[in-house]
Amino acid sequence: MATSLIGRQLALHLQKNLWLGAPGCRYVSKAAAKAEVEFDYDGPSMKTTVPGPRSQALTKQLGDIQNVGAVNFFCNYEESRGNYLVDVDGNRMLDVYTQISSIPIGYNHPALLKLMTNPNNLSTFVNRPALGILPPENFPDKLTESLLSIAPSGMSRVQTMACGSCSNENAYKAMFIWYRNKERGQSGPSAEDISSCMVNQGPGCPDLSILSFTGAFHGRTLGCLATTHSKVIHKLDVPSFDWPIAPFPRLQYPLEEFSRENAQEEARCLEEVEDLIVKWRQKGKPVAGIVIEPIQAEGGDNHASADFFIRLRRIAAKHGCAFHVDEVQTGGGCTGKFWAHEHWGSDDPADIVSFSKKLLTGGYYHKEALQADKPYRIFNTWMGDPSKNLFLCEVLNVIRRENLLEEVARSGKALINGLYELQAQYPGLLSRARGQGTFCAIDVRDDATRDKILVKTRDKGVILGGCGDRSIRFRPALVFKEYHVHLFLNIFNDVLTQFK
């Protein structure tokens, strides 16, 4: 019902837009926008193509200091508001990419600005502590109020870290330590363990492995990178570990139309996982842990069923491997639940869940057993940043107060239905619309066309991101309302007509 209603709404918007014709004319209700996201603008406003002249000059300036090949444009963060990112040439764009999915509640949210003006918070910003040895007084309370209040099922322990890569690196270390302690039983490390580890050799530095999946992305530091398999540019020329790589299911969409085929594909992948675990054990490189994203993001927004993940978790347990769910991109509410793994409906989803991006601090939750047995095994100078915990507390307050997860579920429905309609309308151009909440994607016929669409959409005032070979990913903030969905679809349709 909701589907057809939203479908009709969308059709109306598209119709209206086609009818209005002239670029710049949009289905925009200022009143509605202001009511829904108070601190938002009422629509995109473009003054130049992007990057404009000021962005180009700054890119040239920065080019003397860094490689600027990835710079899109320069931003005026002071003027950005809610769902709108303003650039240095005065262009105001609807942001459906949000700094690679890392802005939870939009730009310059009043709640976050207010936090900054509270004198009680100042010292948290100017005195960054070494959290592992000298935590601030409010640290346990702030962890309880923020990260523990959203802890995955079965987990009451959390370790903060500075970024996503450090989170995964340390989660892997926790799994290795857990695995070796399990092997040792009551006895401590041997003299040989102790002497060999100092020179990078076994048994102290054991030949353990982490099983990952084709198309996975878990970061770019050397440990993480050994489990990342999304793009050549990430991996080329960097030494790696000989760790097993299982196929991630390559499903057909919409999932509900291909349930039989998809179940077969998932069964094939799970079988391969078990084979690899056995094979690597025989090779003398046992699998200490399995790492997986609930939805592969960077690798092309690849989904798998709840059943797949639950079976995979069982396989991990059966073979004595830890199960690590990497929610760096999927966590924080964008799928309509706080964690994507909640869609599996399991009370015991994982042994470790890592996060970063929208959580503003990196880190990982873990089950009691995965706690390193001694201090300084999982450690670094900063171990996170309490000022980010302050922001996270406030973000969670806003999410609860404004029922943002429900909003995401609602906007997500509008978005996926809009994408279904567009792919029906442009069958040679678009395919494989898919998503959960507003964490959606659609494929374009080839990468060159995808890239052109991204640029043209941006010039019309909407920022999107690519992923995989030829996908577009949608990563709006949690304050992206149905209104914004229709605004986006409207503009997107404008662009697509040029590629028909």
Q: Under rule CB under 8 A, which residues in 391-430 are in contact with its own copies?
A: 391
- Of 8, 11, 149, 242, the residue at the interface with its own copies (CB under 8 A) is 242
DSSP letter at 370 equals G
Give the containing element (helix H, strand E) for 341.
Answer: none
What's the closest the beta carbon of residue 233 comes to its own copies, in angstroms?
5
**223 or 333: whose CB is closer to its own copies?**
223
Residue 173 appears among annotated catalytic residues: no
- Per the residue annotation, which of 3, 49, 144, 381 is the catalytic one? 381
C-alpha Rg value of the chain to the nearest Å: 23
Preceding amide of 203 cis, omega within 30:
yes
Length of the chain: 500
**Site map for its own copies, 125-154, x if CB under 8 A?**
xxxxxx-xxxxxx-xx--xx---x------
In the numeric block, the tokens 């760790």 are attached to 243
Q: Which of 326, 351, 385, 494 is catalytic?
A: 326
**If binding is defined by CB under 8 A, does position 103 make contact with its own copies?**
yes
The single residue of 73, 217, 248, 309 carrying the catalytic annotation is: 217
- The answer to whether 366 and 161 are in contact (CB under 8 A) is no
| CB nearer its own copies, residue 154 or residue 189 | 189
Q: Does the annotation count 248 as an active-site position?
A: no
If binding is defined by CB under 8 A, does position 25 make contact with its own copies? no
74 is catalytic: no
Decide: is 204 part of the binding site for its own copies (CB under 8 A): yes
Side chain identity at 461, as an amino acid letter?
Answer: G
Residue span 350-389 as binding mask against its own copies, x where in contact by CB under 8 A, dash where not: ------xx--x----------xx-xxxxxxxxx----x--
Select 31 or 70, whichever has its Cβ closest to its own copies: 70
Binding to its own copies by residue 276, rule CB under 8 A?
no
Determine the angle formed by the axes of helices 2-20 and 404-425, rounding to 10 degrees.
60
Candidate list 142, 337, 357, 460, residue with the active-site label: 357
Residues 158 to 177: which contact its own copies by CB under 8 A? 158-159, 162-166, 169-170, 172-173, 176-177
- 223 vs 435 by CB, closer to its own copies: 223
Contact 454, 464 (CB under 8 A): yes
> Minimum distance between the CB of residue 237 and its own copies, rounded to whole angstroms?
4
Asked whether position 250 contacts its own copies by CB under 8 A, the answer is no
Q: Is 90 in the site for its own copies (CB under 8 A)?
A: no
Q: Binding of its own copies at residue 186 (CB under 8 A)?
A: no
Q: Are 480 and 486 in contact (CB under 8 A)?
A: no
- 357 among known catalytic residues: yes
> For residues 470-499, which are near its own copies according to CB under 8 A?
none
Least distance to its own copies, CB of residue 227, Å: 9
Contacts of 398 (CB under 8 A, 6+ apart): 105, 109, 111, 404
Q: How many CB atoms lie within 10 A of CB 107?
A: 25
409-413 long-range contacts, Cβ below 8 Å, gap at least 24? 409/336, 409/437, 410/481, 410/482, 411/437, 411/438, 411/476, 411/480, 411/481, 411/482, 411/484, 411/485, 412/335, 412/336, 412/436, 412/437, 412/438, 412/439, 412/440, 413/2, 413/3, 413/6
Catalytic residues: 217, 326, 357, 381
